[in-house]
Amino acid sequence: MPSTAHESIMFKDLLGSDEMRAIFSDGSTISAYLEVERALAKVQAKLGIIPQEAADAIIEHAHLQNIDLERYEKRTQVVGAPILPVVEEIVAAVPNGLGEWAHYGTTTQDIMDTALVLQVRQAFEAIERDLTKISRALQDLARKYRDTPVAGRSHRQHALPVTFGFKVAVWLSGIERHRTRLAEIKPRVLVGQFGGAAGTLASLTEHGFAIQDGLMKELGLRTPEATWHTMRDTLTESVTFLGLVTGTLAKIGCDIALMMQTEVGEVYEPFLPGRGSSSTMPQKRNPVGTEMMMVAAETVRADVHMMLGGMVQDHERGSGPYKFELIALPRAFIAASAALMHAVDILPGLEVQEDRMRKNLDATHGLIVSEAVMMGLASALGRQTAHDIVYDACRAAIERDTTLLEVLRGMPEITQHTTDEALAAMCDPGNYVGLAGEMVDQVLAACND
């Protein structure tokens, strides 16, 4: 049975999506190697470098179903790298010795890197789709709750009133930047590799660039300006991007989990019978998905660190650090898929408790709008004098366990400068949300769709 959480029947569907695991599975990885080998043979035959008959045979037979996976596994353990055993399997699968023309003039890392980029492209498509779904769910929430007041918090204490739509718009702004980032990094990351043993295409000098360009066109990838065997910034950028995405999703998850606390109760993950249940406390409704979003971010953060370490490569072909990617890159994409998956599940059905938001706003009996009162009186009293008077009023409200408004009504130094109606308006949290609504509108207007 599996021994890691990401493959465990208990946890794998909380820690990653089936889709992303499939993209980076052994079968998909070997299939990607074979896809590159087939494309290479096709291009080389077109250029007259290998016989057309050989290319046709390689294209027909170099497929996963023709690989002896048990033999392939044993050979990979011996060789220590996966491509020579792939080539051996192609030679065995292609009749009449025509498989000998496979892998002509290329090297292990060319095939591994290009195949990995093909997998990253698939993964980017899934991420782009999920980011779009998350964006649309957040747009709906921001629009619906544009003017719904809720306590803004600083150091987890009441700060000033904001609106829930504003809070969501802040989340949304980060997601929109990630969508932009993804579009920006694709041209840098989705670049194939074909350089030969030391990256100079020495074995194919006459046709090297033509093969390289044709191979990338065949695979739908960009052609590199120079071989990047030991320059791993682009793949590292892709994982760093995942760190940013999951960091944002973890922030959203953290906010939701805190708002789900019993004493707060302002939002909840969508209800599902048994979801978040305790084995001994029937009343519990734990924040399962949001916690997994935070776990995913921690996982990816560790993988970013490993990818950065893998950038320190020696000379023209590394002595091993690029193999860090074998661990870190697939795991980062799988973990990121978990955070995205939970966000896609949670956000469209987020349960928003507007009554509880209002109750929490009123929990401090008006103290949350003490700044509003101070600023409302500043023109008549001066800002510092108004601050000191309102400060004393806040302390009195706390000591007497009454509302700020009641204390203010009993202070002649205040009432002589304002009406009771104006004072009551200053003490209404819903009247002191600043330009929250306008900021929501700006974020929504800037959305990609």
Q: Decide which of 1.10.3720.10, 1.10.260.40, 3.40.800.10, 1.20.200.10 is the CATH code for 109-192+218-360.
A: 1.20.200.10
Active site residue 155: yes
Distances (CA, A) of 43 to 49, 59, 98, 427: 9, 11, 16, 75
Query: pLDDT, tens digit, for every residue of 159-215?
Result: 999 999 999 999 999 999 999 999 999 999 999 999 999 999 999 888 999 999 999
Do residues 193 and 224 make contact, with C-beta atoms less than 8 angstroms apart?
A: yes
Catalytic residue among 278, 279, 305, 387: 278
What distance in Å separates the CA atoms of residue 173 and residue 149, rounded to the nearest whole number? 19
| pLDDT at res. 275 | 56
pTM to 2 decimal places: 0.93
Query: pLDDT, tens digit, for every residue of 258-283?
Result: 999 999 999 999 877 655 544 455 55
Do residues 53 and 81 make contact, with C-beta atoms less than 8 angstroms apart?
A: no
Please, where are the H alpha helices in 94-163? Answer: 108-144
Q: Decide which of 1.10.40.30, 3.40.50.410, 1.20.140.10, 1.20.210.10 is the CATH code for 367-426.
A: 1.10.40.30
| pLDDT at res. 43 | 98
| pLDDT at res. 90 | 97
Enumerate the domain spans of the chain.
Answer: 18-101, 109-192+218-360, 367-426
Residue of 447, 448, 430, 355 lying closest to 169 (CA atoms): 447
Catalytic residue among 3, 154, 155, 315: 155
Active site residue 25: no
Say if residue 357's pLDDT is above 90.
yes
Q: Report helix, strand or coil for 346.
A: helix
Quickly name the fold that domain 18-101 has.
Fumarase C; Chain B, domain 1 (1.10.275)
Say if residue 105's pLDDT is above 80.
yes
Do residues 15 and 292 make contact, with C-beta atoms less than 8 angstroms apart?
A: yes
